[in-house]
């Protein structure tokens, strides 16, 4: 590489906490936020490789405290950037989500992601006292674009370093029984409990940045676990990533930028499935909440490896970035899949109609706190299962689903991003076959509904997260995605 090459690095962040109540995204039932537990943020890292004074390549990674990144949000952000940063290729900007279940909905069109409100019941965000989804989306897109623009304009010569640590954060949440059935969060004290379906990945992937004065400016922290300790709350919250940012800044400086990434973790959660009483006892003895304990574990891992990482800062790392549109085969559905889904849809329809009649007969119930939760859960579940029949009919003409994937090389490190709740096995396949010394897999990146992409053993066990209703793309597509991602990564090393 030319001696005149250098890496330019820029950081920025913005508060994307809603200013009024919003519909929270992450459960079947609608939830109108009842205050803010802690702030939501977007953090952006801009990198540009310059050779002989001329731009060679650029990329921006931005992480948001959401359950996912909708096509609506990605499009709105890129449209703003088209006007404000015409020199920046829009495909170079990658948005990802930490998968907190207590962030606002950022999808306007999909009924399952606008709070699951029955339109024939006359429910709407406004009538429930919440901000319209389109209004929040506009607000958020502006703030996210601001962060990207500021990060780009802040770029200055700097260096990177990377390292690998370990911290127990995620656990496989799919519980298998001797019958061959699997249940998400199933009971493990059942005599029929056999095993936990899949593995875990306790890697803490760390990439740090320094300015020319060798001052630590920020870090990318990547773990294989969604941010959903507090997933049932009715308050806005960034979940354990808020506590982690607080702890990392306490140790390494208040001005530290922390970009959180969720690795392939479609079958993971922070909730332990075996040994829960023991964990609860230890939390009580430590005086920490589960979120705080996770934050300490991550920060301890970072603290342990940072002194080693600092020994090898790269000021002129190799740089390459690729974005590709990939056609993945849709999950092939059979008549038996349709019949099973419609049977469940019919059960939920009857439940919804009974709740609706009861509400009409007793309108005073509409004044009770969270009165809408049960009826919206039934309605959303009904629509969700009915969607299997539509997909069954649609597969006659639409055999693939289009997705955007990205890969980035920074020195000996690779980042690989896709839009799914990608099962951990696929992430491990990518890491194992990548030519990079260290590979950061990033799920829930780019636009699209945050749908699961399960493995063969998961679909055999069925249950939520692996049944047809929750998986537009099946194991075959997951394997093809892993294979193409590896090819793209390794192609960057051939260059």
CA distance 89 to 148: 13
Q: Which residue has the tokens 């922290």?
A: 221
Average pLDDT over residues 381-406: 93
pLDDT band for position 112 (50/70/90)?
very low
pLDDT of amino acid 117: 59
pLDDT of residue 120: 55
Q: How confident is the model at residue 332 (pLDDT cuts 50, 70, 90)?
A: very high
CA 102 vs CA 5, 40, 105, 247, 423: distances in Å? 43, 9, 9, 20, 22
Q: How many helices (H) and strands (E) does the chain have?
A: 10, 21
Mind listing the pLDDT tens digit for each residue in 215-246?
A: 999 999 999 999 999 999 999 999 999 999 99
Q: Which stretch of 126-130, 169-173, 366-370, 487-491 has the lowest confidence by average pLDDT? A: 126-130
User: Residue 114 pLDDT > 60, yes or no?
Assistant: no
> How confident is the model at residue 420, as a pLDDT?
96
Q: How many Cβ atoms from other residues are within 10 Å of residue 432's Cβ?
A: 10
- Which DSSP category does 3 fall into? T
Q: For the chain, what percent of residues have pLDDT higher than 70?
A: 96
Three-state secondary structure call for residue 177? strand
422, 467, 463, 429: which is closest to 174 by C-alpha? 463
Task: Give tens-digit pLDDT for 178-202.
Answer: 999 999 999 999 999 999 999 999 9
What pLDDT score does 118 carry? Answer: 61
Kindly state the average pLDDT of the residues 327-338: 96
In the predicted model, is pLDDT for residue 96 greater than 50?
A: yes
Residue 54 has pLDDT above 50, yes or no: yes
Domain definitions of the chain by residue range: 6-328+400-494, 333-394
pLDDT the model gives residue 447: 74
Q: Does the pLDDT value for residue 366 go beyond 90?
A: no
Count Cβ neighbours within 10 Å for each residue of 223-249 and write b for 16 or more, e otherwise. bbbbbbbbbebbebbbbbbbbbbebbe
pLDDT score for 1: 44
Phi-psi region of 224 (alpha: psi -120 to 50; beta: other; left: phi over 0): beta
pLDDT of 3 > 80? The answer is no
State the pTM of this model: 0.95
**Paired sense of beta strands 93-97 and 54-64, if any:** parallel
**DSSP H or E stretch at residue 335:** helix 335-361
- Which residue stretches of 413-471 are H helix? 424-433, 456-461
131-152 confidence digits (pLDDT tens): 988 999 999 999 999 999 999 9
Position 163 pLDDT exceeds 90:
yes
Strand partners, 330: 473
CA distances from residue 368 to 34, 47, 191, 254, 420 in whole angstroms, order as listed:
14, 51, 40, 43, 37
Query: Can you give the pLDDT at residue 2?
Result: 46
CA distance 91 to 456: 32
**What is the rounded CA–CA span in Å between residue 280 and residue 227?**
19
pLDDT band at 107; cut points 50, 70, 90: confident
Q: In a 3-state reduction of DSSP, which class is residue 415?
A: strand
pLDDT of residue 121: 53
Per residue in 424-451, pLDDT tens?
999 999 999 999 999 999 999 987 656 8
CA gap 407, 493 in Å, rounded: 12
Which burial class, exposed, middle or buried, applies to 483 when counting CB atoms under 10 A from its CB (0-12, 13-18, 19+)? middle
């Amino acid at each position: 590489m030319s001696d005149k090459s250098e890496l330019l690095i820029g950081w920025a962040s913005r508060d994307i906490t809603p200013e009024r109540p919003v519909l929270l995204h992450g459960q079947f039932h609608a939830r109108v936020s009842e205050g803010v537990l802690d702030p939501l943020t977007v953090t952006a890292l801009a990198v540009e490789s310059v050779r002989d004074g001329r731009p060679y390549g650029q990329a921006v990674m931005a992480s948001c405290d959401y359950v996912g990144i909708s096509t609506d949000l990605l499009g709105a952000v890129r449209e703003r950037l088209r006007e404000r940063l015409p020199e920046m290729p829009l495909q170079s900007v990658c948005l990802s989500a930490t998968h907190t279940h207590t962030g606002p909905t950022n999808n306007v069109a999909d009924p399952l992601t606008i709070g699951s409100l029955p339109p024939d019941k006359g429910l709407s965000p406004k009538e429930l006292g919440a901000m319209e989804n389109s209004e929040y989306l506009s607000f958020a897109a502006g703030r996210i674009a601001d962060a990207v623009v500021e990060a780009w304009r802040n770029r200055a010569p700097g260096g990177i370093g990377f390292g690998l640590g370990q911290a127990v954060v995620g656990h496989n949440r799919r519980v298998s029984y001797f019958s061959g059935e699997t249940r998400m969060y199933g009971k493990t004290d059942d005599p029929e409990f056999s095993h936990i379906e899949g593995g875990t990945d306790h890697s803490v992937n760390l990439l740090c940045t320094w300015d020319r004065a060798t001052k630590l400016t920020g870090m990318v922290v990547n773990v294989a676990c969604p941010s959903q300790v507090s997933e049932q709350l009715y308050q806005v919250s960034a979940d354990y990533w808020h506590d982690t940012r607080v702890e990392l800044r306490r140790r390494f400086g208040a001005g530290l930028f922390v970009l959180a990434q969720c690795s392939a973790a479609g079958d993971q959660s922070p909730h332990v499935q075996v040994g829960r009483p023991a964990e609860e006892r230890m939390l009580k003895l430590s005086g920490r909440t589960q979120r705080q304990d996770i934050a300490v574990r991550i920060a301890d891992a970072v603290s342990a490896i940072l002194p080693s990482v600092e020994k090898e800062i790269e000021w002129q790392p190799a740089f390459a970035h690729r974005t590709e549109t990939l056609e993945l085969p849709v999950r092939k559905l059979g008549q038996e899949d349709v019949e099973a889904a419609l049977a469940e849809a019919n059960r939920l329809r009857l439940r919804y109609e009974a709740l609706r009649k009861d509400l009409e007969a007793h309108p005073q119930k509409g004044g009770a706190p969270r009165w809408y939760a049960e009826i919206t859960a039934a309605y959303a579940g009904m629509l969700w299962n009915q969607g299997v029949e539509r997909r069954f009919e649609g597969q006659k003409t639409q055999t693939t689903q289009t997705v955007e994937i990205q890969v980035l090389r920074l020195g000996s490190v690779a980042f690989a991003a896709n839009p799914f709740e990608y099962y951990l096995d696929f992430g491990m396949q990518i890491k194992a076959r990548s030519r990079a010394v260290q590979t950061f897999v990033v799920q829930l990146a780019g636009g699209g509904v945050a749908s699961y992409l399960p493995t063969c053993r998961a679909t055999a066990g069925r249950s939520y997260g692996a049944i047809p209703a929750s998986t537009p793309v099946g194991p075959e597509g997951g394997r093809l995605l892993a294979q193409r991602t590896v090819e793209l990564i390794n192609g960057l090393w051939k260059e």
